[in-house]
Structure 1
């Protein structure tokens, strides 16, 4: 699974790239989403590479992200009681594990598909260069977990 975070804003962006980011549910800076690793999503990530950063999320980070920043419609927090009543899982951790293993999706569980995060502590490295050159954009593999920890 990939975690995708929007790093740059909305001004001066081409319409087809803006539409691509909207399809990924990344409408604002510091919004994050979790998507499966498929060829169609890989193409979407490459198209938006100048505005987003992404990498492979770990199961522990996904559990923390859902429990701390996951929201239900109406902007309510995700609780163990809600998960027990409305899904086949006993706790938020079990639900996060199922989402990580692609047994279910955020939409099927009744969760909002985005996570609204804070800007990272100590700031982004730079919002105009790729990660390989010392910036914040593009593919960052396992290092996405460190960025998410700074933003939760």
Structure 2
């Protein structure tokens, strides 16, 4: 099994880099060229449906509320995100996507769905379940490593 480590590592590193390059390139060549990949991930964390507090979104992104606030300020100015105040407690601010933000979210989500469908092409159910098991193991490792920082 150890002999497979270099090949698997090479694929993981290459895939990670290629996804970022493709996502950045797609944004820059689209009508959404005013959005950075970091801002795109903020839009993704806010989500298509519902509204979330800045604390909830910052936890999803593993950033401080202050760091998120800077990004959200830019996204509000650009028309992708809106701040929604609670009528009962004006101090409570939630985040939601505008129509423009939801359109961008759907386009980004389509890229991810297409990527997963292509990954599963030619795999049977058992193969796909083994892929999921490996990805879960990777996720657990990354989560544990992140938490130890």
Q: TM-score surpassing 0.5?
A: no
Instruction: Decide which structure has greater strand share.
Output: 1
Instruction: Decide which structure has greater helix share.
Output: 2
Interval containing the TM-score (normalised by the shorter chain):
under 0.3
TM-score, length basis structure 1: 0.26
Point out which structure has higher relative CO (alpha carbons under 8 A, 6+ apart).
1
TM-score, length basis structure 2: 0.27
